[in-house]
Amino acid sequence: MLTKKTAIGIGIGSLAIILGSYFLIMAISSNTHQVNDIVGIGQNDVFKFNAEKHFQELLNVTGNSFHVKLKTPSDGLQVDNDFKKEISFDWVSLENGEHFINITNTGDSVLHVSGKLNATINPLIITSHLIVISSGVLIIGISAAFSIRKPRGF
């Protein structure tokens, strides 16, 4: 029969394992970010992410007038220009590294920014989820010791 301390420990440990597993799966599967932003007049939108070689990126900007500064690693796409109406960027990463995109609204209407950005997963995030799962297993193991019958004389 389970004691009260054992039941509470199993519940807390199970919750830690379930939440850690859920967020680990979400971190692994969500390396593609769908962008659908609206940038107000005089404001800017900044994207900074790491991407691996051969990742395809897509970004569309629609509005009256705007400035785009886009930097990719190595000799990849480098843009620092003013645009009007609409522009589409579709590029493939030539090297592993950081991508930087700054879109500034210089017109008198809102901008619509949409696209698909593929980013790499930070290994520290995966490690933190694995630590939470391991802690849940440890909590269940320690709490199970509370329900073990002690032999006579103890």
Measuring CA to CA, which residue among 36, 37, 35, 55 is closest to residue 121?
55
Asked whether residue 13 falls in the same domain as residue 26, the answer is yes
Asked whether residue 98 falls in the same domain as residue 42, the answer is yes
Asked whether residue 113 falls in the same domain as residue 65, the answer is yes
User: φ, ψ for residue 69 (rounded to 5)?
Assistant: -120, 115
Which two structure tokens, joined as six digits, stand for 92? Answer: 């493939």
pLDDT in tens, 95-130: 888 888 898 888 888 888 888 887 777 778 889 999
Asked whether residue 25 falls in the same domain as residue 37, the answer is no
In angstroms, the Cα distances linking 108 to 10, 59, 131 are 59, 21, 49
Which two structure tokens, joined as six digits, stand for 34? Answer: 């769908």
Structural domain including 13 reads: 1-31+122-154
Asked whether residue 129 falls in the same domain as residue 65, the answer is no
Overall domain count for the chain: 2
pLDDT in tens, 50-103: 888 888 888 888 888 888 898 888 777 788 888 888 888 888 888 888 888 898
Asked whether residue 44 falls in the same domain as residue 65, the answer is yes
Reported pTM: 0.61
pLDDT in tens, 13-37: 999 999 999 988 887 776 777 888 8
What is the maximum span of the chain, computed from C-alpha positions, in angstroms?
86
We report the CATH number of the domain holding residue 85 as 2.60.120.260
User: Cα–Cα distance between 12 and 138 in angstroms, integer?
Assistant: 11
